[in-house]
């Protein structure tokens, strides 16, 4: 996709279409990096942010048990032959 470089005060910039902003999960900030002559813009959103707190709350509520705890989890080979 080609985009125009526009004047923004004493600087220049590009406009990103709304669909691109939504697809990349851009909010009010982005992470900008220059690598080998290329501009890389990434979302600062962390996909797993908040998971640690949610899992701690699950543990406190006793809601962190394995649903298939009775399932067979290995073979004889796992117990006798496997070595790190």
Residue 17 sits in a domain whose CATH number is 2.10.260.10
**pLDDT reported for residue 15:** 92
Q: Is residue 39 part of a domain?
A: yes
Query: Domain span at residue 24?
Result: 1-65
Q: Is residue 16 part of a domain?
A: yes
CB burial of 36-63 (b: ≥16 within 10 Å; e: otherwise) equals: eeeeeeeeeeeeeeeeeeeeeeeeeeee
| pLDDT tens digits, one per residue of 13-58 | 999 999 999 999 898 899 999 999 999 999 887 778 889 999 999 9
**pLDDT reported for residue 18:** 94
Domain count for the chain:
1
Which of 9-13, 68-72, 80-84 is predicted with the least confidence, judged by mean pLDDT? 68-72
Q: Is residue 79 part of a domain?
A: no
Q: Is residue 78 part of a domain?
A: no
**pLDDT reported for residue 83:** 80
Mean pLDDT score, 67-78: 75
Q: Is residue 83 part of a domain?
A: no
pTM of the model: 0.50
């Amino acid at each position: 996709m080609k985009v125009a470089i526009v004047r923004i005060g004493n600087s220049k910039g590009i406009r990103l279409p709304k669909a691109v902003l939504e697809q990349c999960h851009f909010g009010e900030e982005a992470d900008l990096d220059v690598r080998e002559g290329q501009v890389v813009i990434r979302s600062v959103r962390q996909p797993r942010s908040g998971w640690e707190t949610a899992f701690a709350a699950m543990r406190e509520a006793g809601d962190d048990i394995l649903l298939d705890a009775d399932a067979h989890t290995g073979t004889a080979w796992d117990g006798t032959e496997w070595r790190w």
